[in-house]
Amino acid sequence: MRNAKSFAFFVALLISRSVPAQEFTRTEIGLQSSTLHGDRLLTVTDMGVGARFSYNLTPSIGFESEFDSYFTNLNEITTQDGGRATVFVAGVKAGIRRRKFGVFFKARPGIMSFGNVPTRAAIITSGSERTRKTHAVLDLGVVGEFYPSARTILRLDAGQMLIRYGEIPEAIGLIGGPSHLEVGLSYRLGKIETGHETSFRPRRFAAGVQYSLFTSERGLDTVRDESGVGGWFTWNFSKHFSLDSSATYFPRLLHIADFQQGGRTFQAVAGLLGGIRRERFGVFGKLRPGIQGYTATEGNGITFADSTFIDFALDAGGVIEVYTSPNTMLRFDAGNTNIYYRPRDVIVSNGQFHAAGFTNNTIQLTAGFGWIF
């Protein structure tokens, strides 16, 4: 599921009016096969195996960690990857659980490490020195579970693993977005518990302030982490669905300008949330189109005057709300805000130059505090 879009509403699609009693255990262990398509700079498919540990707070939400080792493409070597790939991620899995199946979304940050990457000296001198290189990742997707017995779980994961290849003197920086597919078997440890969670109708509106960490590719093959502040507003028009909007301003001035981006950044998105609410928390998928604006871009090669330029954006991912009181809440977002950089005709001395459009992945993490009214 490329671009983290398809999983945004899987949780909401399987919601019913009532939630029956659900059997679960606090801890689970499992094994899985894992496939990553496009996780290296050369477009190849890595296949591997791994292990997983999960701790369930309730039938609907839990924490889990996973380690995978990939045994293919060991001879594929670039400036950012090479040799055996290993991945460790840990994060949240949340959704709905029924007697025979469960559907969840997952958001799990972590690292991907390659064990045989050329050193800078080897690149300069054509030598053979190798080193380990590690990149930050964010694993987003959906999880389908099937329960053939009280203790066993068949599990299917599908989604996207966002990889932050940071720029270094010998390599370009970019955000990779390989598709990620896993098939596994898990075993429930400990006492089997029966949980019953009730869904409730929320109050009509919620609004708050937020901090956002936005990682994206900028000009000249660089990757930047931008800190921004803003606010969000939600209209809960039903028990499971809401209209949600946010606006964020990233104040750092980047002195790199190209045809579609540069300077400071601002973002505004609005769209649909769909998911479940419990007494103390809510879990949602989100799909919110909008705009990403840049204050200094190159549109005139004669006067060299910078100008504001607006690109399209699509924010897809997951949201967790924690209700700290009847009137206050904490909110956490994780996702991929795809930026669709529009084509542009740039004025140059001999006429016009056509700058082609393109699309980039990003990683966006947001934390906020809000009021319910």
Q: Report how far residue 114's alpha carbon sits from residue 289's, in angstroms, rounded to the nearest whole number.
A: 35
346 and 245 within one domain: yes
The answer to whether residues 166 and 228 belong to one domain is no
Are residue 174 and residue 216 in the same domain, yes or no?
Answer: no
Answer yes or no: do 190 and 245 share one domain.
no
Asked if residue 37 is part of any domain, the answer here is yes
Whichever domain contains 285, its CATH number is: 2.40.160.20
The per-residue pLDDT for range 139-150, each reduced to its tens digit, is 999 999 999 999
Residue 266 CB neighbours (<10 A):
18
How, if at all, do strands 205-218 and 61-70 pair?
A: unpaired
Q: Would you mind telling me the total number of residues written for the chain in this entry?
A: 373
- Residue 152 lies inside a defined structural domain of this protein: yes
Lowest mean pLDDT across 110-124, 159-173, 242-256: 159-173
- What local confidence, expressed as pLDDT, does residue 210 receive? 98
HSE at residue 126, side-chain half, CA atoms within 13 A, is 0
Whole-number pLDDT of residue 250 = 97
Report the 3 state secondary structure along the chain.
CHHHCHHHHHHHHCCCCCCCCEEECCEEEEEEEEEEECCCCCCCEEEEEEEEEEEECCCCEEEEEEEEEECCCCCCECCCCECCEEEEEEEEEEEEECCCEEEEEEEEEEEEEEEEEECHHHHHHCCCCEEEEEEEEEEEEEEEEECCCCCEEEEEEEEEEEEEECCECCECCEEECCEEEEEEEEEEECCCEEECCCCCCCCCEEEEEEEEEEEEEECCCEEEEEEEEEEEEEECCCCCEEEEEEEEEEEEEEEEECCCCEEEEEEEEEEEEEEEECCCEEEEEEEEEEEEEEEEEECECCCCCEEEEEEEEEEEEEEEEECCCCCEEEEEEEEEEEEEECCEEEEECCEEEEECCEEECCEEEEEEEEEEC
User: What total of structural domains would you count in the chain?
Assistant: 2
The per-residue pLDDT for range 76-129, each reduced to its tens digit, is 888 889 999 999 999 999 888 888 999 998 999 999 999 998 887 777 777 788
- Domain assignment present for residue 298? The answer is yes
Residue 162 belongs to a domain: yes
Number of Cβ within 10 Å of residue 229's Cβ equals: 14
Tell whether 35 and 106 lie within a shared domain. Answer: yes
Say if residue 236 is in the same domain as residue 190.
no
Residue 66, CB half-sphere, CA atoms under 13 Å: how many? 30
Q: Of 176, 195, 214, which residue sits at a domain end?
A: 195
In a domain, 200, yes or no: no
Mean pLDDT of 239-262: 90
**Do 174 and 213 lie in a common domain?**
no
Q: Are 185 and 214 in the same domain? A: no
Q: Which domain holds residue 184?
A: 2-13+22-195
Q: HEC profile for 162-200?
A: EEEECCECCECCEEECCEEEEEEEEEEECCCEEECCCCC
Residue 169 — pLDDT band, cuts 50, 70, 90? low
Nearest residue to 89 (alpha-carbon basis) of 70, 77, 106: 106
Two structure tokens written together for 359: 């699309």
Question: 182 and 37, same structural domain?
Answer: yes
* Domain shared by 163 and 248, yes or no: no
Range 34-54 average pLDDT: 93
Give the list of residues 6+ apart from residue 149 with CB closer than 8 angstroms, or none.
Answer: none
323 falls within a domain = yes
Range scoring the smallest mean pLDDT among 58-67, 111-120, 168-177: 168-177
**d(C-alpha 336, C-alpha 258), whole Å:** 22
From 157, 177, 195, give the residue that closes a domain: 195
- Domain co-membership, 80 together with 179: yes
Q: Do both 56 and 118 map to the same domain?
A: yes
Which domain-ending residue is among 195, 214, 233? 195
Taking only the tens place, the pLDDT of each residue in 313-351 is 999 998 999 999 999 999 999 999 999 999 988 887 777
